[in-house]
Amino acid sequence: MLLTDVLLLDVLSVITAILAVGYAYLKWTQQYWKRKGVPYIEPSPLFGGSKSEVKNARDGAVDIYKTAKANGWRHVGIYRLTNCIYIPIDVELVKHILTKDFGYFIDRGLYVNERDDPLGVNLFFLSGQKWRNLRAKLSPTFTSGKLKAMFQTLVDCGLVMEKYIDENVNISEPVDIKEILANFSTDIIGTCAFGIDCNSFKEPNSPFRATSKRFFFRTKLERYKSAIAMTFPKLARALRIVINNPEVSSFYGKVVEDTIHYRLKNNVRRKDLLQMLIDMMIDEKNQEDGQSDGGLTMTEIAAQCFLFFIAGFETSSTTMTFALFELAKHPKCQEKVRDELKRVLAKHGDQVTYDALGDMKYMSQVIDETLRLYPPLATLMRQCVKDYKVPGEDVVIEKGTKVLIPVLGPQMDEEFYENPKEFNPDRFDEDKRKKIPQYAHLPFGEGPRICIGERFGVMESKVGLTCILRNFKVSLNEKTKLPMKLDPRNLIPAVEGGVWLNLHKLESKI
């Protein structure tokens, strides 16, 4: 036998041995929940996830929840490659994890690469004490007073949207309502987060719109990189893997840096989020008592503005889109919203004011019901930071275990919502919502890590819906494909083919 043949056999033997050991390790890992005595979903042979989850994470999460409920399980274990993930099903367990025992689950367990992806170091991704420090600094930026200061900006953007529809939308032609609302949201977040007039209705292909679209649409390669980063974070950091597109990060980083330098050099001030962060940076730099922890850096400010833009732009425009989709299908609900608009605006001098939004109770119900059916995220992620004894169970969740909180599953559960597939805002009226468990409606999360921009997002959605519904009656156009299907490639739910509506001009504006 030739030497080369011997070497080839040796190499093949080594490869075979490595594969055999790897497979054996994978199979041993996928017995973890069985050894712990936790009910589990039978994993697929290679990737670990259930078949539906591998195909579509959003639908898969609901299927897992339904399977667990049907079997009467309070919790369930699943696998993703070598990750063993714990899922609480009982809403009382969810309450413990998100709030009561938050100290055990302070982290989200998301991939962070500070060296190569500085804009990823934002409030959503950070963990431990870094998260606590930053949350404490940012919380004052979303008080009622600060929201009121930014409110007129939202109204002004709404007026621009109204004018655009009046001048450019042919009432005999359907409109892709998501595009209109995305322009509205881009203008709001661009102004409030960056202090920049995006003019999205005049420049629909502006850098802000193009860059935001690029962020939310992930290629297969990017999705694979994210999966590797989440499963093997240490290896991913060693390989310098980033999950945010470098061009997107570079764009937003430069926008923030240039804007801050311009404002400081020219002594320019605006009533927006960026100004609050700049003031925070300056105030802490000027402290002389030695107690400052260093304040916000330029990179940290850029990271928070980036998060605010990405989260605020897409979630609000998506929520408004689905709300109008459902109101178009349910004209009685739509008329009820419009009747409330007439009554409330008349009370406030026919002006859209901050206090007027607070009086729009039924519109709040519409938004709550929309977020029940179409939450931005189907699940919430947490990570156990120290061994945790599950209440009422002889099970200990070990430090480092990832925890997946179901959001869409409970929100579509007949135990909590009668006819859950039906759009019914009345289920959230003041009396009926008391019967809904708090932790069975989690579109913004709950506990100390609840979405910091929740009130801003609802305020933005109310302004957008008001500007459209006080001028137009909306109905569903046949270009909207029914039954509606969501695009699995998008991070936030997006309708395949778009939501196309007919806009019928009202005889008199409300």
What is the spatial distance between Cα 455 and Cα 247, in angstroms, rounded to a whole number? 30
Handedness of CA 407, 411, 414, 416 (dihedral sign): positive
* Amino acid symbol at 415: E
Closest CA to 377 of 442, 464, 308: 442
Are the C-beta atoms of residues 273 and 308 closer than 8 Å to each other? yes
What is the spatial distance between Cα 58 and Cα 491, in angstroms, rounded to a whole number? 10
Closest CA to 469 of 323, 317, 312: 323
DSSP assignments along 429-485, one per residue:
STTGGGGS-GGG--TT--GGGS-TTHHHHHHHHHHHHHHHHTTEEEEE-TTS-SS--
- Is 451 flagged in the annotation as binding? yes
Q: Say which residues have a Cβ less than 8 Å from residue 56's Cβ, sequence separation at least 6.
A: 488
Are the C-beta atoms of residues 384 and 403 closer than 8 Å to each other? yes
**Can you read off the two tokens belonging to residue 165?**
């529809």
- As beta bridge partners, residue 12 has none
Residue linked to tokens 């390790």: 25
Closest CA to 306 of 255, 268, 237: 255
Binding site residue list for heme: 451
Binding site residue list: 451
